[in-house]
Amino acid sequence: MKLVTVVGARPQFIKASVVSMALRGVCREVLVHTGQHYDRNMSGVFFEELKIPKPKYNLGVGSGTHGKQTGEMLIRIEEVLLGEKPDAVLVYGDTNSTLAGALAAAKLHIPVAHVEAGLRSFNRRMPEELNRVLTDHVSDLLFCPTRTAVRNLAEEGITEGVRVTGDVMLDSVLHFVGLARENPEKTKIFSELGIEPKRYRLATLHRAETTDGGVGAVARIFGAFERLPEKVVIPIHPRTRPLAEQALKEHDFGNILLTEPVGYLEMLLLTSNANQVLTDSGGLQKEAWFLGVPCVTLRRETEWVETLEGNWNVLAGLDAEKIYRLATRTAPDPAAREKKPFGDGHASEKIAKALAAAFGDDVK
Ligand code: UD1
Ligand code: UDP
């Protein structure tokens, strides 16, 4: 069996790292990096730290409007697929790289396998929602992290090829968090940032809905953060950095600590030792849940509805007053953590097995 895996954005490197490990010995995997993320701290660092094999192809697509970026990926992925002739194409999540990989394969009648299938925010204004829906509808194997995802697919008439595997991000947290904790090169992040465990909150911001509001929207969020009693550490996504820097120029938000994006191991350390996470990220909401850290989500809806149970995650939207109120007055219920909605931490192996069973007549 020969698989082509298409990745391109930070969260996909993290998800692919554990699945690629499970696939070794099961099949030949050809890794294609679309180049959607390209800064060292958004791409290279993950390949090094997580020991992901070097991609055979880096398509160098880079940034652009949705049409340009997705279109260029489509053209270049098609060329790769015509040359490689894989048995299946594996895609992750909901980025433009996901959609381009799935569409290029489907049009060439190559089976598509989608990891993180069935997630829905029911907000079609999100580019990610369009990417997810379209990818699921051209996929042959749909690996769902949760039962909710299976139900979402069934409501759209997709029942064939659907498997509940659990969440690969749980696999990666379980695999890497110990390695992070015992690596002195990584634990020095606390002294480098001048913070102490359990005496800060961690925030990330990159969603289009957030940045579309410009400096004003970011400044309003920072205004809510400023009222919090601890430091707020923000490893800032390059998309949001100019807005955040401008907001900080216009007003001295004394407790905000802006820093470059960090590697995954450092991020696990920062997350697991935070008092609280405040974020518009999808992946970070889940990681907070896995690590037992309360989360305030800076969006009005979430795909990861299981995290809302017992107020471990609360939806604040982008309203400063609501962010402050929920950040200071939410008490999560420990009993809610007894459920294990994201599986047992072995999603990657289940995915590798299902791929081998579906496409692996001549398993290597
Ligand atoms: C993309 C995904 C989003 C995902 C996020 C993960 C889409 C539509 N969006 O959003 O679902 O949550 O990745 O982080 O696919 N930039 C750099 N250096 C980089 C990468 C980006 O400077 O290495 C800047 C560029 O100005 C670029 C902007 O960030 O225009 C946005 O990058 P892009 O990949 O289009 O979207 P993300 O916001 O990263
Ligand atoms: N992450 C990281 N360094 C950072 C910020 C995030 O390693 O500086 C990790 C985070 O732990 C999670 C993933 O990146 O595993 C989430 O990616 P992001 O928020 O960019 O995208 P989303 O999950 O919203 O698609």
Burial class of residue 76 in the structure, from the number of CB atoms within 10 Å of its CB (0-12 exposed, 13-18 middle, 19+ buried): buried
Question: Mean pLDDT across the stretch 119-148?
Answer: 98
pLDDT digits (tens, 9 = 90+) for 316-348: 999 999 999 999 998 999 999 998 999 999 999
Strands of 112-115's sheet in order across: 57-58, 28-33, 2-7, 88-92, 112-115, 141-144, 162-164
DSSP per-residue string spanning 292-342: T--EEESSS--S-GGGGGGGSEEE-TT-HHHHHHHHHH----GGGGG--TT
**CA of residue 138 to ligand 2 center, whole Å:** 26
10-23 vs 168-181: helix crossing angle, rounded to 10: 90
Residue 201 is given by DSSP the state: E
Q: Which atom of ligand 1 is nearest to the CA of 128?
A: 11
Ligand nearest to the CA of 282: 2
Q: Chain centroid to CA 111: how far?
A: 23
- 206 given a catalytic annotation: yes
> For position 81, what pLDDT does the model report?
99
> For position 330, what pLDDT does the model report?
87
Residues of the chain with pLDDT > 90: what percent?
A: 98
**CA of residue 36 to ligand 1 center, whole Å:** 7
With beta carbons less than 8 A apart as the criterion, state whether 46 and 13 touch: yes
What's this model's pTM, rounded to 2 decimal places?
0.98
pLDDT value at 36 more than 70: yes
Catalytic entry in 66, 109, 114, 206: 206
pLDDT digits (tens, 9 = 90+) for 235-283: 999 999 999 999 999 999 999 999 999 999 999 999 999 999 999 999 9
Q: Which atom of ligand 1 is nearest to the CA of 36?
A: 34
In this structure, which residue's CA is closest to atom 34 in ligand 1? 36
Amino acid at 292: G
CB neighbours of 302 closer than 8 A, spacing ≥ 6? 121, 282, 285, 308, 313, 315
Find tokens 């949001």 and name the residue.
240
Could you tell me if the CB of 63 is within 6 A of ligand 1?
Answer: yes
> For position 360, what pLDDT does the model report?
86
Could you tell me if the CB of 116 is within 6 A of ligand 1?
Answer: no
pLDDT value at 169 more than 80: yes
Retrieve residue 219's tokens. Answer: 């400044």
pLDDT digits (tens, 9 = 90+) for 299-317: 999 999 999 999 999 999 9
Q: Which atom of ligand 2 is nearest to the CA of 260?
A: 8
pLDDT value at 364 more than 50: no
In this structure, which residue's CA is closest to atom 21 in ligand 1? 37
Amino acid at 30: V
**CA of residue 124 to ligand 1 center, whole Å:** 18
pLDDT digits (tens, 9 = 90+) for 219-229: 999 999 999 99
Q: Which of 212, 239, 298 to mutate to test the pocket of ligand 1 (most atoms within 8 A of CB)?
A: 239
**CA of residue 70 to ligand 1 center, whole Å:** 12
Q: Which atom of ligand 2 is nearest to the CA of 94?
A: 25
Could you tell me if the CB of 39 is within 6 A of ligand 1?
Answer: yes
pLDDT band at 363 (very low <50, low <70, confident <90, very high): very low
Lowest mean pLDDT among 42-56, 73-87, 297-311, 348-362: 348-362
Could you tell me if the CB of 128 is within 6 A of ligand 1?
Answer: yes
**CA of residue 187 to ligand 2 center, whole Å:** 18
